[in-house]
A and B are shown apart, each in its own frame.
Chain A
């Protein structure tokens, strides 16, 4: 079945860049996502990338996709203390009958040191 792997922790200094990595197994995934979760909150969509793209940039966020290696990364430039949160990588897989479902990694806890 589908599986999504992420490292569990990342610690960076304020102002540095953060890079969160993810690997996935479903080669038929058409969309891949990055969500952010702050304590006690739901999931906030940060960005997504379509599988025929290699890169997507959105302000401080850069997503890189290596489809051959099934590797996805999220780079946050000029990381701020407000970026401290858990970041989830997710792939969208087809389940049949017109239905899709998201498979999530366990999440990477980003800690930003002032």
Chain B
């Protein structure tokens, strides 16, 4: 069974630009959650998508947005990039409801560097 696929693995962007990151969950999983990991703040929850709907959002500015497609793949977008957005962005795949919904499988992450 394929794991969670995040693309790209690495990105370098300039301040003010925007970026889109992609996450393909495990087949059959309907929930995708996004987390930001930085040395200072650790792992912080960004948002969760389930069946194409955002179910939950963390404490991040509106520059951070996302969406989920009918095949459960998810994208997150960061507009007007700031230096502080440099981080490892991780997505987690889970069933999202029902039996076995407590399992969260993470992808390898996208390392974003803003210069």
Contact = CB atoms under 8 A, between A and B. Distances in A.
Interface of A: 30-31, 33, 35, 41-45, 48, 50, 88, 90, 92, 95-107
Chain B at the A interface: mostly helix, strand, loop or mixed? strand
B8 interface: no
Interface in B76-115: 90, 92, 96-97, 101-109
A107 B43 CA distance: 9
A45 B106 CA distance: 8
B102 A43 contact: no
Contacts of A104: 35, 42-43
Contacts of A97: 55-56
Interface of B: 4, 6, 33, 35, 42-43, 45, 48, 50, 55-56, 58, 90, 92, 96-97, 101-109
B102 A31 contact: yes
B50 A45 contact: no
Nearest to A35: B106
Chain A at the B interface: mostly helix, strand, loop or mixed? strand
A42 B35 CA distance: 11
Contacts of A107: 42
In this complex, which of A50, A102, A103 has the most chain B Cβ atoms within 10 angstroms of its Cβ? A102
In this complex, which of B4, B56, B107 has the most chain A Cβ atoms within 10 angstroms of its Cβ? B56
A42 to B, nearest CB: 4
A41 B43 CA distance: 14
20 contacts: A33-B104, A42-B4, A42-B6, A42-B106, A44-B106, A45-B103, A45-B104, A45-B106, A95-B55, A97-B56, A98-B96, A99-B55, A100-B48, A101-B48, A101-B56, A102-B35, A102-B43, A104-B35, A104-B43, A105-B42
